[in-house]
Amino acid sequence: MTSENRRLDQARRLLALAQTGLHYTTAVFDKERYEEIAAIAHEQLAELASMETGDLAELFAFETGYANPKLDVRCAVFNEAGHILLVREAADGLWSLPGGWADVGSSPAENAAREVREESGYTVEIVRLLAVWDMAKHRHPPSVFHIWKLVFLGEIRQSGATVGTETDAVGFFSPDDLPALSLGRIMPEQIRRLDELRHGNTVDFD
């Protein structure tokens, strides 16, 4: 782990301790101390993420209660040629698996299928879980959040041409000839690993 990643991990843990402490404490003195710890963590995270402290505090404003990792749900969809479905993110012009934050009210598999439909227009049936990854244990760029990624295997049931508001292009690509990826969402080696996993019955997990 690099020095920057170690500092990021420490700042995230510090903020999680403060958030959990604020959730459980009933003492005014303790509340003030936990708020001070949270402010220090916000400053550290903002420095590491090159953000304004106020902007980062606003980002975490709704992160209350017992601190948990955020859940990112993705879907790997392959065509008959063995090419994988990718969508281009409108925000940065880079490509990724369809997916995003898990929404309340739906199961992880339901979230994955909906993201594929909304972002690519394809209707898929979720076949099985392929991977459960802790993003901090992979080569993703540093994130202020601690994120777990679930990747499901989906099979196409109906084609479509709809592109969602967050994506502006859709395509199938060989795992060995990928476009520029949004590395904060998916890594090239992870796509190649998913291609291997779909042929077996195992789940890759951290």
70-205: CATH topology is Nucleoside Triphosphate Pyrophosphohydrolase (3.90.79)
If you average pLDDT over residues 189-195, what whole number do you get?
98
* pLDDT class of 100 with cuts at 50, 70, 90: very high
According to the model, what pLDDT value does residue 43 have?
82
**pLDDT exceeds cutoff 90 at 179:** yes
1-49 pLDDT, tens digit per residue, is 677 778 877 877 887 787 888 778 888 888 888 788 878 877 887 787 7
Check residues 134 and 166 and name the one with the higher pLDDT: 134
39-90 pLDDT, tens digit per residue, is 887 788 778 777 677 775 676 766 777 778 889 999 999 999 999 999 999 9
- Nearest Cα neighbor of 182 from 94, 102, 69, 71 is 94
Where residue 124 falls (left for φ over 0; alpha for ψ -120 to 50; beta otherwise) is beta
For residues 148 and 131, is the Cβ–Cβ distance under 8 A? no
Check residues 104 and 147 and name the one with the higher pLDDT: 147
149-170 pLDDT, tens digit per residue, is 999 999 999 987 666 788 999 9
Q: What residues does each domain of the chain span?
A: 3-59, 70-205
According to the model, what pLDDT value does residue 77 have?
98
The whole-angstrom separation of Cα 52 and Cα 130 is 37
pTM greater than the 0.95 cutoff: no
